[in-house]
């Protein structure tokens, strides 16, 4: 089926340098977007696209809303939906008291299947069309996650977590079973539907050197697969991790030693890095994933986003919710907190950068910008429709808004799931279909 969407189109083509960098994006005030077979086939002024469209295509008028590429979340934990808002002093207490208890429930495939439905509903409700998830240690949790992703036709990344120590017995695998189960998940799910399997050793604390060797073997055998783990989120975590790997120069060097640092590796948090570690990320192209709501909630620290970007050897950056350390599924709320973190560091994060990061920036960080993250013809038709007057408070503030960047800043500051007027997955409306 062919659909023609009408609305205000916004799509970035590179990172915006400043608020006045109008060349970093394409904006069509009365735009047309033609969708066919799950792809964007044409984008431009509505009258031009209308003239190209088949006579019988369905037209959906989203004016005066903005139509953007679907939002991308590069780090969340599928088994932590019921961990959100758990009261703890810090990361390690939070993990041991709540998270490692809750994740044990995913041994039951029926539980995983139920939570997967809720996760995908929540992502769609918040305009997130692609996410990168940690499942639990249980292979069944990855099966539930990818089966639901396939059912929804969503481009999703994720992996069975590998963890073989410093956690309850019921939540550990072994170097061999972690390897075998990950292989089985790759064989079953990678490339099926729009699924991408991610090699997922949880972090250095919960993997023995033997398991790290196995993660390294998987990485070597599958150079095209993403790898994800956690790095330097919390000072006590750093000290513990380094004590477990005394030969490593620092926390980053643990992962480097096992051949895991590369340009399709995602390092969650990466807050407290030395200059040497920043260089190592930059040289390998490994991505530091900023998780603002989680970093504030767990008191982990203020991510030096601007410092990492502007150094001579810049570090690649992505942004993410980190559900359930994170406190919101909304990428808009995530960037609201990201903005405030830079404020506390005496830095500026423009709304153009925020919207770039949620779309093309994250797509680039995943090496998937040819598929998602823009409205370019040929891209997958994963879209979000944003209503800047979604609540009375937003509508009132909109009366005072005079520019696109002010509107984006309002969407980021006051927006949440109510702001998402529609989410399109592979060319089809998905949010209205939930109701």
CB of 233 to Zn ion, least distance (A): 8
Based on CB atoms, which residue is closest to Zn ion, 103 or 322? 322
Q: Does 6 bind ligand GUN (CB under 6 A)?
A: no
Give the per-residue SS3 of the chain.
CEEEEEEEEEEECCCCCCCCCHHHEEEEEEEEEEEECCEEEEEEEHHHHHHHCCCCCEEEEEEEEEEEECEEEEEEEHHHCCCCCCCCCCHHHHHHHHHHHHHHHHHCHHHHHHHHHHHHHHHHHCCEEEEEEECCCCHHHHHHHHHHHHHHCCCCEEECEECCCCCCHHHCCCHHHHHHHHHHHHHHHCCCCCCEEEEEECCHHHCCHHHHHHHHHHHHHCCCCEEEEEECCCHHHHHHHHHHCCCCCCHHHHHHHCCCCCCCEEEEECCCCCHHHHHHHHHHCCEEEECHHHHHHCCCCCCCHHHHHHCCCCCEEEECCCCCCCCCCCHHHHHHHHHHHHHHCCCCCCHHHHHHHHHHHHHHHCCCCCCCCCCCCCCECCEEEECCCCCHHHHHHHCCCCCHHHHHHHHHHHCCHHHEEEEEECCEECCCCCC
Based on CB atoms, which residue is closest to Zn ion, 40 or 91? 91
Q: Which of ligand GUN, Zn ion, none interacts with 120 (beta carbon under 5 to 8 A by kind)?
A: none
Q: Does 91 bind ligand GUN (CB under 6 A)?
A: yes
CB of 202 to ligand GUN, least distance (A): 5
CA–CA distances in Å: residue 37 to residues 2, 79, 100: 7, 32, 42
Show the site string, 137-166: x = touches ligand GUN by CB under 6 A, - = not.
Answer: ------------------------------
Q: Which of ligand GUN, Zn ion, none interacts with 141 (beta carbon under 5 to 8 A by kind)?
A: none
Applying CB under 6 A, which part among 7-15, 91-99, 214-222, 309-317 lies near ligand GUN?
91-99
Show the site string, 51-80: x = touches ligand GUN by CB under 6 A, - = not.
Answer: --------------------------x---
**Which of the residues 93 through 112 are near ligand GUN (CB under 6 A)?**
95, 99
Q: Does 290 bind ligand GUN (CB under 6 A)?
A: no
Q: Which of Zn ion, ligand GUN, none interacts with 292 (beta carbon under 5 to 8 A by kind)?
A: none
Q: Does 226 bind ligand GUN (CB under 6 A)?
A: no
Instruction: Establish whether the linkage from the previous residue to 270 is cis, with ω within 30° of 0.
Output: no
Out of 178, 201, 268, 304, the only residue in the binding site for Zn ion (CB under 5 A) is 268
CB of 202 to Zn ion, least distance (A): 8
Based on CB atoms, which residue is closest to Zn ion, 175 or 326? 326
Q: Which of Zn ion, ligand GUN, none interacts with 389 (beta carbon under 5 to 8 A by kind)?
A: none
CB of 162 to ligand GUN, least distance (A): 12
CB of 235 to ligand GUN, least distance (A): 13
Q: Which of ligand GUN, Zn ion, none interacts with 294 (beta carbon under 5 to 8 A by kind)?
A: ligand GUN
Q: Which of ligand GUN, Zn ion, none interacts with 84 (beta carbon under 5 to 8 A by kind)?
A: none
Q: Does 3 bind ligand GUN (CB under 6 A)?
A: no
CB of 294 to ligand GUN, least distance (A): 5
Sign of CA dihedral 166, 169, 173, 175: positive
Using CB under 6 A as the criterion, which residues of the chain lie in contact with ligand GUN when the complex forms?
77, 91, 95, 99, 202-203, 230, 233, 294, 322, 325
Q: Which residues bind Zn ion (CB under 5 A)?
A: 268, 322
């Amino acid at each position: 089926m062919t659909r023609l969407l009408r609305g205000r189109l916004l799509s970035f083509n590179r990172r915006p340098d400043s608020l006045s960098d109008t060349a970093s994006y394409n904006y069509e005030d009365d735009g047309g977007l033609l969708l066919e077979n799950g792809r964007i086939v044409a984008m431009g002024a509505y009258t031009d696209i209308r003239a190209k469209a088949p006579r019988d295509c369905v037209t959906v008028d989203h004016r005066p809303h903005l139509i953007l590429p679907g939002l991308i979340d590069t780090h969340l934990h599928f088994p932590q939906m019921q961990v959100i808002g758990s009261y703890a002093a810090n990361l390690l207490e939070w993990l041991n008291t709540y998270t490692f208890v809750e994740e044990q429930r995913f041994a039951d495939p029926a539980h995983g299947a139920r939570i997967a439905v809720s996760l995908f509903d929540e992502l769609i409700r918040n305009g997130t069309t692609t996410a990168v998830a940690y499942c639990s240690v249980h292979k069944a949790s990855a099966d539930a996650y990818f089966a639901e992703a396939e059912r929804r036709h969503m481009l999703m990344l994720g992996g069975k977590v590998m963890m073989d120590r410093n956690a309850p017995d019921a939540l550990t695998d072994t170097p061999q079973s972690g390897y075998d189960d990950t292989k089985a998940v790759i064989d079953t799910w990678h490339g099926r539907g729009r699924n991408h399997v991610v090699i997922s050793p949880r972090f250095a604390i919960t993997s023995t050197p033997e398991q790290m060797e196995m993660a390294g073997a998987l990485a070597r055998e599958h150079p095209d697969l993403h790898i994800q783990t956690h790095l330097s989120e919390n000072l006590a975590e750093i000290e513990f991790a380094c004590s477990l790997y005394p030969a490593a120069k620092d926390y980053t060097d643990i992962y480097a030693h096992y051949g895991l640092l590369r340009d399709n590796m995602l390092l969650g948090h990466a807050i407290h890095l030395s200059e040497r570690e920043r260089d190592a990320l930059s040289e390998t192209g490994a991505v530091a994933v900023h998780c603002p709501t989680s970093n504030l909630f767990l008191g982990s620290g203020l991510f030096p986003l601007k410092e990492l970007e502007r150094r001579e050897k810049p570090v690649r950056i992505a942004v993410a919710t980190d559900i359930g350390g994170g406190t919101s599924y909304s990428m808009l709320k995530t960037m609201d907190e990201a903005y405030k973190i830079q404020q506390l560091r005496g830095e500026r994060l423009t709304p153009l950068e925020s919207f770039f990061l949620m779309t093309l920036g994250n797509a680039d960080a995943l090496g998937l910008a040819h598929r998602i993250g823009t409205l370019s013809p040929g891209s997958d038709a994963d879209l979000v429709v944003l209503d800047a007057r979604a609540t009375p408070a937003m509508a009132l503030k909109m009366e005072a808004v005079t520019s696109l960047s002010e509107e984006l800043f309002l969407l980021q500051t006051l927006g949440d799931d109510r702001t998402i007027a529609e989410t399109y997955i592979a060319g089809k409306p998905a949010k209205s279909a939930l109701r």
